[in-house]
Structures are given as structure tokens and as C-alpha cells.
Structure 1
Amino acid sequence: MAESRDPALPQWYSEVASALDEKMGLTVSELTPQRVVGRMPVAGNTQPFGLWHGGASCVLAETLASLGALAAVRPGRVAVGVDINATHHRSVKQGMVTGTATALRLGKTVLSYDVALVDDTGERICTARVTCQAVDPRRPNISS
């Protein structure tokens, strides 16, 4: 489990970070139901031509939205991604990619986020929309 190094992050965050988050180098700097901000390095998250991988954009977008949704529904429920749509605008070869997930709708069971990913110059590289569903963590298909 990752440690919550930033005192501004909720304590529970250290209990939900995943192996994929660590492997991809994700760091989260802001985490509320309304807004989540995180970064990932381009290095190590590229496709064979040395460009930031579109799949990395989807991982970053869904992770940030899912964390925001989890913040909105916990305790007692968990949030899982059920839909993602990502439009890739431009490529990145180096530096960091910063994502900001902003809540569009925080319903009781369906939560939607707009996620903007930008490079180090502030240029948008991807726009994503992520929908999450709040579920009971004891359901058989959700591991505890």
C-alpha cells in the first residue's frame, strides 16, 4: 500500500493505492469528491515510438475519477469505473502529464467526471469523460 505523503490528502488514500499506480509513477496532490489532481511521468509510460501511451492517459483519467468517486461514496461503498471516453489531442515525449478530474455529477449511484490531461507547458494532450458506479464492496465480483 502506498503511503499518503501529503498531509492534505485524506488518510484513507494510503489504503487504496494500487500496484498499477505505483508502477506507472502516479502521485496525487489533491483529492476531494469534486476535484482530484495527479501526475505521472512520461518516462516508463510510452508506446514503442517513445510517445506517451494513450492507454496511460486512460489509466490516469480513470484513476483520478475513481478516487474522486470513492471520496464521494465512502465509507460503506466503493466506486468502480464503468465507462471511459478519451480523445487524444497531441503527443508528449518527455516530462510529466498532469490530470485534473472535475466532478460533473455526484449522484447516489452514478458519478461522472471530466478529466483534462496537460503536459508541462499546460497544453492539453487528452480530454476524457469517466463514469463510475457506487457499489457495495461485499458484492461477489468486488474483492475486499
Structure 2
Amino acid sequence: MITEDEIRAVLTTYKNNWQRRLPGRADLPKTLVFAAGDDHAEEVLKPVKEVFGRGDEFAKKITYRSRANGDDPDSLINDLRNSPRLRVAVTVDMIATGTDVKPLECVIFLRSVKSPVLVEQMKGRRPAPSTRTT
């Protein structure tokens, strides 16, 4: 998904429907959005903040280029894990493999992924849903 209208449509749908999956929750679940590249991540971050009406503490871009903007990617990942204010991270490959973020509950793909193995690794950034027996 590249166009701003498509990005905004996905984010608006998510915003309007996440509570159906997680009723009774006040805060947006920790969410990881996979973008196609660093420039695309920038294009995604802006509408995330606009659609949800929240600022920099709510959503961050976490990529290898984050240092160029004065941010430490490792600190941002730590904030995603631990800060109650940071709810959405937009990334490309940095959190795709080898970095677990246990509080993650939602993963949104706004990029093409041709490798089934990589898709599984990317989905694996969040824990599998628990299975309850009643």
C-alpha cells in the first residue's frame, strides 16, 4: 500500500474496529506497522498521528535510519516494549526478525512480503494468541 488514501483507509478501518476484537479495552493495543521502505514509513507515520489524533509519544518510526533523526532505535524498541504512551511503531525490517516485543497485539502489513518464512517471522514479533478452554 503506497498511496496516502490507501494508508488512511487502512488506519481508519483499524481505528474504528479494533475494539470489536478487544472489547472493554480503553487503549489501542500495541501495534506494529510494516512499511515498504524508510520513505514509505515516513508516509505512514504522518497519517497514523492524524487518524488517531495523537502525537510523537503515541507513534514512532523505528528503522535503521532513525539515528539520522536523532533517535536511538534501541531506545525506541525499549519504549515500544515498556512505555504505555507509545502505541504504534512503523518499521521496515528492523523489528521484522530477531526482536521480540511481547506487548504487541496487532501487526499491520502495508508492504509486500514474498517469503513465507519472513511473513512468519514478522508475525512472530508478537506472541501467539492464548487459547482458552471454557
TM-score over 0.5 (shorter chain): no
More helix by share: 2
Flag the structure with more relative contact order, 1 or 2, with Cα contacts below 8 A and sequence separation at least 6: 2
TM-score by length of 1: 0.27
TM-score by length of 2: 0.28
